[in-house]
Amino acid sequence: MSSQLASLNDWVASVAQLTQPDAIHWCDGSDAENARLVELMLANGDLVKLNEQTHPNCYLHRSSPSDVARVEHLTFVCTRHPADAGPNNNWMDPAEAHREMDALYAGCMRGRTMYVVPYCMGPIDSPLSRCGVEITDSPYVVANMRIMTRMGAAAQARIEREGSFVKGLHSIGELDPNRRFIMHFPEELSIQSYGSGYGGNALLGKKCHALRIASYQARTEGWLAEHMLIVGIENPQGETHYVAAAFPSACGKTNLAMLIPPEGYRRAGWKVWTVGDDICWMHPGADGRLYAINPEAGFFGVAPGTSEKTNANAMAMLDHDAIFTNTGVTADGQPWWEGMTSGTPAKDWQGRDYDKAVGPAAHPNSRFTVSAKQCPSYTAKAEDPQGVPLSAIIFGGRRASLVPLVLEARDWTHGVLVGASMASETTAAATGAVGVVRRDSMAMKPFAGYNFGDYFAHWLSFDKPGAKLPKIFQVNWFRKDADGKFMWPGFGDNMRVLEWMLKRVTGQAHAVETPVGNLPLPADLDTEGLGLDAATLEQLLTLDRAGWKAEMESIGEYLEEFGDRTPEVLKAERARIAAQL
């Protein structure tokens, strides 16, 4: 037996000793295994079968009503020194955290089966991929991990070869919100989660491993783990440029990743290819470019709002072999959520008779789990072990005012400042009151596994001799007019902005320099057939100097939150822009 296998076996044995399961099952990821788990879940009520004619092999899971979202206040990064976790994380001393978790885990799997789930984040044969093993007592978690990761025998073989893997321990416990913790031990490459069966808390390969632990690991190994979609844009000449984009949760990553270009663009030969919709791992290649992989194998997307109009690619992949969590359901057993253009809900997400007066049919954070291979725009390049070279990185958030439709950063340092300063507004009140700006650096506030000051420094470190880094842009699809209406049509029409960006990359488009970055003139964007009036477009592309002056002050205060861990270079960049304004 290899020493790696021994260490995996020892760990599994020690967890079994602590948690006392009735049985241990090592998952191989096979269809037969999945079929048995589905049968078990249909019998115990974890899953409800959906309409076999319209939705073959589709199931609905209703979670505990108090367990429907990530729990940031119960999520901890446990490093020896609190400053290493940083003010951007909740911190707990590792020894104390282990004591608390051991007490929760003691005997928690009595009467249950313990599943050992080996998985690989990224293509199984990619040097950029990393492996983990999740131990869980939830068959629902196993079924989701099978879709979201390369799970089973091949991953286990790689782990036995390589030795290093992230150890994740998960138990649904009693699903009691008062006995719930999501603990990260980046220095031990381990995760411990208790008391929740919900996606981000329970599918440990996703946010816990591929973002929090991986971002920490990436810093020590010289790469980046980011909350970004990856998309390929093919121009009429047949050249494909890959773009990664970081938007906070519920700000349109899944939409942009599966964008369908406007009719005119499609006729001209533009195509959009999906690589990933939530997480991006970027490594510098031998040629100096950044290469990106999507560590996931599936999509765990927000259901409400997904429709033929907003995301036809997503709709096309959801009519077979999918798991729906907390959506409503029609009388004939089809999944239903708000925003759907047809069908009528009969039961709501808690299984009650649907009553509009009580609330929405689907929980606002209801989700679908589906293999990426089912997405019509998914590209084989997503399986390339080398990853895809990035031409551009985009940062964006919800800003009802101030931030223009698109801005190009002058250089990498400026781009890192743009990412670090990212913010998203709480939904603007109907009265037109200014939304509360919450900083969410690189959309990683809930996910960076270490101090943001060190994280900014790590980003800056990629700018070295020989590097051919992607251009960095900022976008804002969410500008609102005085009536609170979105000024930019968004969705497929975001293609028009992507075209400008790519033409900046290849030196074919014009821009105007301003202190906060380079802006297109209205004429530089293709707005044919949009019906957007000139004044609105002008406003979307205008620099509000007074507003930006105040913004730079606020960014200055924010950077101080990380004290002397914030790189001087970043502070100087901010000061220079503030002075120019």
Q: Which of 494, 499, 517, 537 binds ligand GTP (CB under 6 A)?
A: 494
- Binding residue (CB under 6 A) for ligand GTP from 254, 366, 377, 474: 254
Residue 33: how many other CB atoms lie within 10 Å: 19
- Antiparallel, parallel or unpaired: β 298-302 and 59-61: unpaired
Total residues at interface with Mn ion (CB under 5 A): 5
Nearest-Å Rg of the Cα atoms of the chain is: 24
DSSP string, 67-96: --S--GGGEEE--SSHHHH-TTSEE--HHH
Question: What tokens were used for 196?
Answer: 């929740």
8/444 with CB nearer ligand GTP: 444
Rounded to a whole number of angstroms, the minimum distance from the CB of residue 56 to ligand GTP is 25
Where are the extended beta strands (E) located within 295-381? 298-302, 322-325, 328-330, 335-336, 345-347, 367-371
The answer to whether 375 is a known catalytic residue is: no
365 is in an annotated binding site: yes
Distance, in Å, from the CA atom of 125 to the CA atom of 121, rounded to the nearest integer, reads 11
Site stretch for Mn ion (CB under 5 A), options 26-34, 209-217, 244-252, 499-507: 244-252
Rounded Cα distance, 460 and 287, in Å? 19
200 labeled part of a ligand binding site: yes
Tell me if 325 contacts Mn ion by CB under 5 A. no
User: Per CB under 5 A, which region of 83-91, 248-256, 401-409, 511-519 contacts Mn ion?
Assistant: 248-256
Nearer to ligand GTP, 33 or 499 (CB): 499
CB of 291 to ligand GTP, least distance (A): 22
Q: With CB cut-offs between 5 and 8 Å by kind, which of ligand GTP, Mn ion, none does residue 360 bind? A: none
- For 238, the 3-state DSSP assignment is coil
Whether 70 has a binding-site annotation, put simply, is yes
Catalytic entry in 208, 251, 280, 375: 251
> Would you say 198 is a known binding-site residue?
yes
Query: In whole angstroms, what is the distance from residue 90 CA to residue 79 CA?
Result: 10
* Beta-carbon contacts of residue 181 (< 8 Å; ≥ 6 apart): 74, 75, 76, 97, 100, 101, 104, 192, 193, 194, 195
Question: Which of 163, 358, 486, 528 touches ligand GTP by CB under 6 A?
Answer: 486
Interaction between residue 447 and ligand GTP (CB under 6 A): no
Decide if 417 contacts 570 (C-beta within 8 A): yes
333-337 long-range contacts (CB < 8 A, ≥24 apart) are 333/49, 333/50, 333/51, 333/54, 333/55, 334/50, 334/51, 334/54, 334/55, 335/50, 335/55, 335/58, 335/60, 335/303, 335/368, 336/361, 336/362, 337/303, 337/304, 337/305, 337/306, 337/361, 337/362, 337/366
| Partner whose binding site includes residue 250, from ligand GTP, Mn ion, none (CB under 5 to 8 Å by kind) | ligand GTP
Q: Is 514 annotated for ligand binding? A: no
Pair 59, 38: CB distance under 8 Å: yes
- Tokens representing 386 are 């080398």
55, amino acid identity: H
Residue 68 is a binding residue for ligand GTP (CB under 6 A): no
Q: Of 261 and 301, which CB lies nearer to Mn ion in the complex structure?
A: 301
Q: Is 493 annotated as a binding residue?
A: yes
Shortest Å, Cβ 242 to ligand GTP: 18
Q: Is 199 annotated as a binding residue?
A: yes
Which entry of Mn ion, ligand GTP, none binds 490, CB below 5 to 8 A by partner kind? ligand GTP
Collapsing DSSP to helix, strand or coil, 324 comes out as strand
- Looking at the Cβ atoms of 62 and 207, the one nearer to ligand GTP is 207
Nearest residue (CB) to ligand GTP, 252 versus 284: 252
In the set 88, 254, 255, 311, which binds Mn ion (CB under 5 A)?
A: 254
Q: Give the DSSP H/E element, type plus range, for residue 157.
A: helix 153-162
Does the footprint of Mn ion cover residue 196 (CB under 5 A)? no
Task: Tell me if 225 contacts ligand GTP by CB under 6 A.
Answer: no
383 binds Mn ion per the rule CB under 5 A: no
Q: Which of 226, 278, 425, 551 binds Mn ion (CB under 5 A)?
A: 278
Which residue, 301 or 453, has its beta carbon nearer to Mn ion?
301
Question: Could you give the CA distance from residue 55 to residue 58 in angstroms, rounded to a whole number?
Answer: 6
Confirm or reject binding of residue 201 to Mn ion (CB under 5 A). Answer: no
To the question of whether residue 491 is assigned a binding role by annotation, the answer is yes
Would you say 440 or 454 has its CB closer to ligand GTP? 440
By CB under 6 A, the residues from 284 to 343 that bind ligand GTP are 301-302, 305, 310
Question: Between the CA of residue 428 and those of 434, 483, 493, what are the distances in Å?
Answer: 6, 11, 23
User: CB of 247: closest distance to ligand GTP in angstroms?
Assistant: 5
User: What distance in Å separates the CA atoms of residue 196 and residue 174, rounded to the nearest whole number?
Assistant: 8
Tokens in use for 155? 């991953």
According to DSSP H, which parts of 385-428 are helical? Answer: 412-420
Question: Judged by CB under 5 A, does residue 296 bind Mn ion?
Answer: no
Q: Which residue's CB is nearer to Mn ion, number 112 or number 206?
A: 206
* Total residues at interface with ligand GTP (CB under 6 A): 20
Sign of the torsion angle spanned by Cα atoms 531, 533, 539, 541: positive
Instruction: Give the residues lining the site for Mn ion (CB under 5 A).
Output: 249, 253-254, 278, 301
Catalytic residue ranges: 251
Chain residues in the site for ligand GTP (CB under 6 A): 247, 249-255, 277-278, 301-302, 305, 310, 477-478, 486, 490-491, 494
Annotated binding site for substrate: 70, 198-200, 249, 365-367
